[in-house]
Amino acid sequence: MTTLFVDVIIPVPIPGYFTYRIPKEWDSLIEIGLRIVVPFGSSKAYTGVIVAVHHTPPKNYQAKYVLEILDEYPLINASQLKLIEWVASYYMCTPGEVFQAALPSGLKISSQSKIQLNPTFEEWEQLTEKENSFCEFLKGKESCTFDEAKLFLEVKSPYHLIKSLVGKSAIIVFDELKDRYSPKVVRKIRLRGDYLSTEAITTLINSLESKPKQLSILLHYLRFIPVLKDASYNEKGLEKKSFTQAELSESSLQSLIKNGVFEIFEQIVSRFAGEDDSFIPRDFKLSDPQNRAFQEILAGFETKDVALLKGVTGSGKTEIFIRLIQEALTNGDQVLYLLPEIALTTQIVIRLKKIFGEQLGIYHSKFSDNERVEVWKSVAEGKYQFIVGVRSSVFLPYKNLGLIIVDEEHEQSFKQADPAPRYHARDVSIVLANMHQAKVLLGSATPSFESYFQAKIGKYALVELNERFGSTQLPEIRLIDTKYAAQAKQMKGGFSTEMIEKLQVNLEAGKQSLLFQNRRGYSPYIQCQLCEWISQCSQCDVSLTYHSKDRELKCHYCGYKEPMPTRCGACGSTQLQTMGYGTEKIEEEIQLHLPDARIGRVDLDTTRSKTAFNQLIHEMQSGNLDVIVGTQMVAKGLDFDGLSFVGIFDADKMINFPDFKAHERAYQLITQVAGRAGRRDQQGEVYIQTNQPAHELFQFILDGNYEGLYELEMVEREGYHYPPFVRLIKLVIKHIDENKVDLAARDLGRALKDKYGPGRILGPEKPLIEKIRNLYAQEILIKLEKGISLSKFKKSLREDLDLAQTWNVFKGVQLVIDVDCN
Ligand SMILES: [Zn+2]
Ligand SMILES: [Zn+2]
């Protein structure tokens, strides 16, 4: 019998696969898609996945033995492996990097992993003796390293034990870089086992007749948890706060617990359950326009794999999605619903959860690893037929996807910026759908021009929904010329008097307002009034933002912070002034103008925890806030019935941003934010402050003329060779030494220009921010016209880059490849 070898993807950035040999006794256990633990380097070990089984030893190295087999059946299926390979090849990165992004940490235990006890674990009786002693060991610590675990357990390879404990939810495995996990826990009450028969409950009720308070607690429980009908309901229990909310006696409840009638237990709950009690009808009716769009999508799917639904804000795209999802599920298909960032769109998740219940799994990068492992397994086992998730959910183990919906498809956050794989989840989802012969529906009020282009040339089906639901009109938008206002002395700080008056009127009418300033902090920089010195980050080529709450200067790129200086860093004068506007300053000024208004702020600083965000949204919904000040976080999918006015600051910055997509993005963002105003029978109003009201972009925005802007942009992009007429690949060269970056970039640029022609190679050029975290950068942009074979070009480019990295000037230089960087 000859030795078996396996090719394995391991989560490290090496090109291709690594080959290992299988100990004879495991020959019959080996299968493609199984996870195994393999040694790497002198002392490391990783979880990898088998992609091929064969008898050929590797040519250039001695294959090491596989250390452990973690699975009995493949946890990663063939189409997932195919997708990983596709992403690696398309985005010019390694399968290991894709594997790293695709699997939650809990599924790829490595010698680098950290381990903590799951704080809510209770089922100690499930553990073996050894597992139990390891958990006891963990109890006293925040976490332990893999090596510490090895040492404590006195074994060479603790993988099996750790895997088993992850499976029992007793421990949590995480990567060092990620935050530790803190679950959301509720306290619940349930009957003790002795009281689960009809006789026992009847006896209990009789015995409590003299204690009416305790009796009413028992009856309250039985009303919500009908154990008499089915004893298994008791398992779930009733939230403790249900009793308090019903104003039942706390001390009587305690006596019932003390007397052994009830027991108290804790349960981890989904962060999306029960946060919103609004009534959501399951069997709503589509309006006529919605129904027409629905039928058009179905018709489009007859001949095309992708449909684009362009529906104005408030047109009720969600109802159409729900119908399509229901249909797919009825056909026995799996459905994936991709959203940009779920934390920001809880309203829709709550709604979907209420409609689809147990079939629906949520996959979010902010969830704990155990939760993500759980979702992974539930998808593999077919428990979840419907996944709502962020971009990495394209990598889940689907078996029979029938439909993928990409909501807000124009959102930039679908593209991963860092680290590799720098993939675009929308584009990957189209490839994924293709593997499953599934359909893709892209949805947006303001589609990305590249998707709209595909629809216009007939590659995608195009469905438009131009009427808002009910009789609501689109908001009325008005421009305020801040240059003129300043001359006429009609500016008070960052506010025009018109804006202030409008806010006052709105407040007096009991209506809500939203102020959009796409910049957090108090002011983007501070400046010396004598010598014009500006506070700069020492590690990055950016100014430091002043945050008034902490009285600190912070770098938004590297996280560096320092206390607000009292003196100028150059001349020593004390005349330092905050310059420009961030959300904190807008909040402060509006409070001065409207002293009675209740104001909330939504930006990265106020919403670090997910509950904080939900809390603010809840306050706004229940009318406890009059004004909300926010960054683009508020532009996405939030609907407030009482919101009738939107004020937009700093529109000029968006318009003048040096990027070929600046106008498209400004149009999208302003239209999305403006769309928050007005609902039902009330037309909303939007004021935009700008010092260039004559800019052509505003005319398109005022008229809601997406089509017009699109046509104009297409002419320009075709003329100047930008997407969708060409494809862009960006090469970024980075090093701590500016000189070295310049030389390496210059030589690489020259070589590429010689080979591919100067028309296709632009740069090298300094990026907008030259230095981040002490690394200087230069960029080379590659433009590939249509008709060139992308895969051939990438192969050739890969060879060029591999060669370049052997040059002397490239020693120690970082090279980043970003495919479809637009
Ligand atoms: Zn910095
Ligand atoms: Zn100075």
Q: Is the pLDDT of residue 642 over 90?
A: no
Q: What ligand has the least distance to the C-alpha of 568?
A: 2
Measured in Å, residue 535 CA sits from the centre of ligand 1 at 11
Query: By mean pLDDT, which of 83-92, 136-145, 301-310 is the weakest?
Result: 136-145
Counting residues of the chain whose pLDDT is more than 90, the rounded percentage is 62
433: Cβ–Cβ under 8 A, 6 or more apart, which residues? Answer: 305, 306, 401, 404, 439, 440
pLDDT given for residue 166 in this prediction: 82
Q: Work out the pLDDT band at 637, boundaries 50, 70, 90.
A: low
Q: What ligand has the least distance to the C-alpha of 565?
A: 2
pLDDT given for residue 687 in this prediction: 97
Asked if 55 contacts 5 with a C-beta cutoff of 8 angstroms, the reply is yes
pLDDT given for residue 320 in this prediction: 94
Mean pLDDT of the chain: 89
Q: Is the pLDDT of residue 278 over 50?
A: no
**What's the pLDDT tens digit per position in 502-534?**
999 999 999 999 999 999 999 999 999 999 999
**What's the pLDDT tens digit per position in 607-629?**
876 677 778 888 888 889 999 99
Q: Is the pLDDT of residue 274 over 50?
A: no
Cα dihedral across residues 647, 653, 655, 659: positive or negative: negative
pLDDT given for residue 272 in this prediction: 47
Q: What ligand has the least distance to the C-alpha of 538?
A: 1
Task: Name which residue leads in pLDDT, 118 or 688.
Answer: 688
Measured in Å, residue 247 CA sits from the centre of ligand 1 at 53
Measured in Å, residue 546 CA sits from the centre of ligand 1 at 13
Asked if 84 contacts 432 with a C-beta cutoff of 8 angstroms, the reply is no
Length of the chain, please? Answer: 822
Asked if 86 contacts 43 with a C-beta cutoff of 8 angstroms, the reply is no
Measured in Å, residue 535 CA sits from the centre of ligand 2 at 10
For residue 320, the tally of other CB atoms under 10 A from its CB is: 25
Maximum separation of any 2 CA atoms in the chain, in Å? 96
**What's the pLDDT tens digit per position in 122-154?**
888 889 998 999 998 888 787 888 888 888 888
**What's the pLDDT tens digit per position in 185-244?**
778 899 998 888 888 999 999 999 899 999 999 999 988 888 888 888 888 888 888 888
pLDDT given for residue 708 in this prediction: 96
Measured in Å, residue 522 CA sits from the centre of ligand 2 at 21
Query: By mean pLDDT, which of 336-345, 376-385, 390-399, 795-804 is the weakest?
Result: 336-345
pLDDT given for residue 382 in this prediction: 87
Bond before 11 cis per omega within 30 degrees: no
For residue 487, the tally of other CB atoms under 10 A from its CB is: 10
Q: Is the pLDDT of residue 683 over 90?
A: no
Measured in Å, residue 487 CA sits from the centre of ligand 2 at 28
Q: Is the pLDDT of residue 276 over 50?
A: no
What's the CA gap between 476 and 67, in Å, rounded? 66
Asked if 693 contacts 659 with a C-beta cutoff of 8 angstroms, the reply is no
**What's the pLDDT tens digit per position in 759-796?**
999 999 999 899 999 999 999 999 999 889 999 999 99
C-alpha distances out from residue 93 to 250, 421, 422, 819, Å = 60, 6, 8, 10
Q: Is the pLDDT of residue 178 over 80?
A: no
Taking residues 462-485, report their average pLDDT: 84
Q: What ligand has the least distance to the C-alpha of 573?
A: 2
Measured in Å, residue 543 CA sits from the centre of ligand 1 at 8
pLDDT given for residue 43 in this prediction: 74
Q: Work out the pLDDT band at 70, boundaries 50, 70, 90.
A: confident
Q: Work out the pLDDT band at 469, boundaries 50, 70, 90.
A: low
Q: What ligand has the least distance to the C-alpha of 534?
A: 2
Measured in Å, residue 542 CA sits from the centre of ligand 1 at 7
What's the CA gap between 110 and 45, in Å, rounded? 6
What's the CA gap between 2 and 24, in Å, rounded? 9
Q: Is the pLDDT of residue 271 over 60?
A: no
Nearest alpha carbon to residue 365 among 410, 398, 396: 396
Measured in Å, residue 318 CA sits from the centre of ligand 1 at 40
Q: How many CA atoms lie within 13 A of 735 on its CB side?
A: 15
Q: What ligand has the least distance to the C-alpha of 560?
A: 1
Q: What ligand has the least distance to the C-alpha of 539?
A: 1
**What's the pLDDT tens digit per position in 699-755?**
999 998 999 999 999 999 999 999 999 999 999 999 999 999 999 999 999 999 999
Measured in Å, residue 771 CA sits from the centre of ligand 2 at 24
Measured in Å, residue 576 CA sits from the centre of ligand 2 at 8
Q: Is the pLDDT of residue 277 over 60?
A: no
pLDDT given for residue 223 in this prediction: 86
Q: Is the pLDDT of residue 554 over 90?
A: yes
Distance of CA 388 to the CA centre of its chain: 11
Which residues keep their CB under 5 angstroms from ion ligand 2? 528, 530-531, 533, 568, 570-571, 573
Measured in Å, residue 747 CA sits from the centre of ligand 1 at 28
Secondary-structure percent of the chain, ordered helix, strand, coil, rounded to 5: 40, 25, 40
Q: Is the pLDDT of residue 41 over 90?
A: no
pLDDT given for residue 680 in this prediction: 63
Measured in Å, residue 536 CA sits from the centre of ligand 1 at 8
Q: Is the pLDDT of residue 475 over 70?
A: yes
pLDDT given for residue 180 in this prediction: 44
Taking residues 248-260, report their average pLDDT: 90
Q: What ligand has the least distance to the C-alpha of 533?
A: 2
pLDDT given for residue 268 in this prediction: 65
Measured in Å, residue 539 CA sits from the centre of ligand 1 at 5
| Strand stretches in 343-452, DSSP E | 360-363, 386-389, 401-407, 439-444
R_g of the chain, CA atoms, integer Å? 30
Nearest alpha carbon to residue 605 among 671, 537, 521: 521
